[in-house]
Amino acid sequence: MTWTAPQPPPIDDGPLAGPEAAVLAAFLDWQRWTLLNICAGLTSQQLAERAVRPSTLSLLGLVRHMAKVERTWFCERVAGQSHQPMYDPAAGPDADFDGASADNAEQDFDRLAEQIRQADRAVADRDLDQTFDLRGQPHSLRLVYVHMVAEYARHNGHADLLRERIDGATGL
């Protein structure tokens, strides 16, 4: 039986005013939901399809990439946690994209969901002004939220085009 990406449950749009942390978290949640919504209803084979040759970009590769990015920015950089690499370092810096396989689609979606949960837990009680050092420069949690919204937005644009190329669906 072929696995199909599920429809994500509806989410609250979040606050349009109020505390900055709540607004940033809501925008990030919407971007996360958007990626899952774009993928919903596609089979594991469709998700792994490299729809625009010669690029190795696929919807499943984007899911894998965002799992890595969630962990890297929130858990490792902000919270200072140490983790083994998510994908084989010997496979190169694009292993998240290049290693996307229909055989592992369900596990890759589960991994993204778990990384989102861990990321949210890692920063739940932190102040937006809290900083960490990255390559000799201070970075704030606020910057990480803005970066993550931008990262998802950029890749959701890619995902829209990939989805349209796969089955013609638009406006998801």
What DSSP assignment string belongs to 152-163? HHHHHHHHHHHH
Q: What is the pTM of this model?
A: 0.96
Rounded to whole angstroms, the Cα distance separating 83 from 75 reads 9
Element (H, E) at 133: strand 131-134
Binning the chain into helix, strand and coil, the percentages to the nearest 5 are: 60, 5, 35
- Domains of the chain, start order: 20-167 (1.20.120.450)
Rounded to whole angstroms, the Cα distance separating 112 from 68 reads 8
pLDDT, one tens digit per residue, over 55-75 is 999 999 999 999 999 999 999
What pLDDT is stored for residue 52 in this prediction? 85
pLDDT, one tens digit per residue, over 92-107 is 999 999 999 999 999 9
What burial class does residue 119 get, using C-beta atoms within 10 Å of its C-beta: 0-12 exposed, 13-18 middle, 19+ buried? buried
Q: Is the pLDDT of residue 148 over 90?
A: yes
Rounded to whole angstroms, the Cα distance separating 119 from 150 reads 16
Q: What is the 3-state secondary structure (H, E, C) of 54-85?
A: CCCCCHHHHHHHHHHHHHHHHHHHHCCCCCCC
- 142 pairs with which residues across the strands? none
Instruction: Give residue 16's pLDDT band: very low, low, confident or very high (50, 70, 90).
Output: confident
Cβ atoms within 10 Å, residue 90: 7
Instruction: Give yes or no for a contact between 82 and 130, defined as CB atoms under 8 angstroms apart.
Output: no
Q: Choose the most confident range, by mean pLDDT, from 17-21, 51-55, 101-105.
A: 101-105
